[in-house]
Structure 1
Amino acid sequence: MNRTSWSIPDYPSRTSRPSSPRSCKSMPDISTKGSNIPMQIQYVNKQRKYATGQAMALVDAALGELQVREPFGRQLVRKGYTGALTVTFVSRGEIRRVNAATRSIDKVTDVLSFPMQELVDGKLAVPLQAADLDYSSGQPVVFLGDILICLEKAEQQAHELGHRFEREIAFLAIHGCLHLLGYDHDTPEREKAMLHRQRAVLLKLGLNRGPSHHETQGDLI
């Protein structure tokens, strides 16, 4: 996993749909408390193996709950701003291509984050400027960045660790969004804070059953 300010090459501006997809495994009962907090999530699909409807519902719930908990998310709500981000579901080949193009690491990974705002540990390092706000929808929108999730890699990791595919999807979405908010795992203290936030959201959603890939194997890129 990595937080980087590189732009993503060759990405569409609208959602595409897979042909001949197969559904994700059955979803658990999850709480969506907080998911009605203003947040715009645009979904893009660049893989063909999985239907994405249930995965999108999981991401909606996870990031909605995260926004309720995060000071920056609450700050946006108080100011009347809407946070926005893009979540793209990609194949193993696609995430490997982007990983190589943006980080010079030619291997498959599970999630990549591309932040647009300058935040450190959930706080703005540079105040928002007029250019950071998009009024095209009639209200101010702050674009936080892009998250890429490889569903095939997520399913592989869930199988290896013996927990649900759905938990891994939610975890990766939360982890990716925390990177957009300036959190990182480059020191033990920051890693601990990030893990605490991830686990709190998973617990609220009823998905805190077993560790994640990165909690057990320490893939701290």
Structure 2
Amino acid sequence: MGLQLEWSNEQNQYEISDALIAQFNQLLTAAGEAEGVTEGEVALTFVNDEEIHRLNKEFRNIDRPTDVLSFAMRDSMEDEQEITYEVEQEDEVGPEFDEMLGDIIISVPRAIAQSEDYGHSVERELGFLFVHGFLHLLGYDHQTAEDEAVMMGKQEAVLQQIGLTR
């Protein structure tokens, strides 16, 4: 089966081209290989700020829009701290994933604005958010400076590997 990407587009501000979807598939493969995850499905949805705001409020009790949300299918929230440390070990993650890994939801307007703020392409920002979301599905988090540094390093390595530089 391998890693599979299912996607839907619920926003009308940015064209989601075949080339962009091919880029997301490359990112999924590269991030999966880096983490030892070779099987599973990721559902990716592109939304507007209003929808991500609604989801953020409903599921996280945070009353504002955000750039990306991830909903892992394999573990509950209270298990995420434990997973964060297990994921750092080689070959711990791979065999556990053979079905749905989870959902990643990206606010396209937020990604467009952030790409302008950071001075890079929209495609790079969308790619960054996608890899960020994927790592959350695996249990990574950025609650501490140390965890954030680990996560950022992993994200940048994957983006560099497929040529999405700043």
Under a length normalisation based on structure 2, what TM-score does the superposition of the two structures give?
0.84
CA distance in 2, matches of 1:95, 1:184: 19
Candidates 15, 23, 29, aligned match of 1:64: 29
Deviation at 1:55, TM superposition (A): 3.1
- Structure 1 residues 150-159 or 113-122, which shifts more? 113-122
CA contact (8 A) 1:55 1:169 kept: no
1:18-43 Cα deviation digits (max 9, x unpaired):
xxxxxxxxxxxxxxxxxxx9211110
1:192 aligns with 2:149: yes
Distance apart, 1:58 and its partner CA = 2.2
SS at match of 1:106: coil
2:20 paired residue among 50, 55, 60: 55
1:90 pairs with one of 24, 33, 47: 47
Q: Which has the larger radius of gyration?
A: 1
- After superposition, residues 1-221 of structure 1 pair within 5 angstroms as 38-53=2-17, 54-71=19-36, 73=37, 77=38, 82-118=39-75, 120-121=83-84, 122=87, 123=92, 128=96, 141-209=98-166
Q: Are the equivalent residues in 2 in contact too, given 1:58–1:169 (CA < 8 A)? A: no
Number of equivalenced pairs: 152
Amino acid at match of 2:41: A
Deviation for aligned residue 1:167:
0.7
Q: CA deviation at 1:112?
A: 0.2
User: For residues 140-185 of structure 1, what are the alpha-carbon distances to aligned partners after superposition, in whole Å with 9 as ceiling and x for unaligned?
Assistant: x411110000111101000011111111010000000000000011
Kindly indicate whether the alpha-carbon contact (under 8 Å) linking 1:85 and 1:143 is maintained by their aligned counterparts in 2: yes
1:101-134 CA distance string (max 9 Å, x none): 111112111100000113613345xx95xxxx8x
Tell me how far apart the structure 1 counterparts of residues 13 and 164 of structure 2 sit (CA, whole Å): 24
By how many angstroms is 1:187 displaced?
A: 1.4
Task: Specify every segment of 5 or more residues in structure 1 that has no aligned partner in the other structure, as ranges.
Answer: 1-36, 134-140, 210-221
CA distance in 1, matches of 2:31, 2:107: 21
- For 2:33, give the aligned amino acid: V
- Per the TM alignment, residue 208 of structure 1 is displaced from its structure 2 partner at its CA by 2.5
Question: Separation in 2 of the partners of 1:105 and 1:188?
Answer: 22
Is contact 1:62–1:201 with CA below 8 Å preserved after alignment?
yes
User: 2-side partners of 1:188 and 1:107: how far apart?
Assistant: 23
Query: Hey, what's the Cα distance between the residues in 1 that align with 2:139 and 2:8?
Result: 23
Q: Which aligned segments of 4 or more residues in structure 1 are displaced greater than 6 angstroms?
A: none
Q: Check the 8 A contact 1:41/1:87 in 2, yes or no.
A: yes
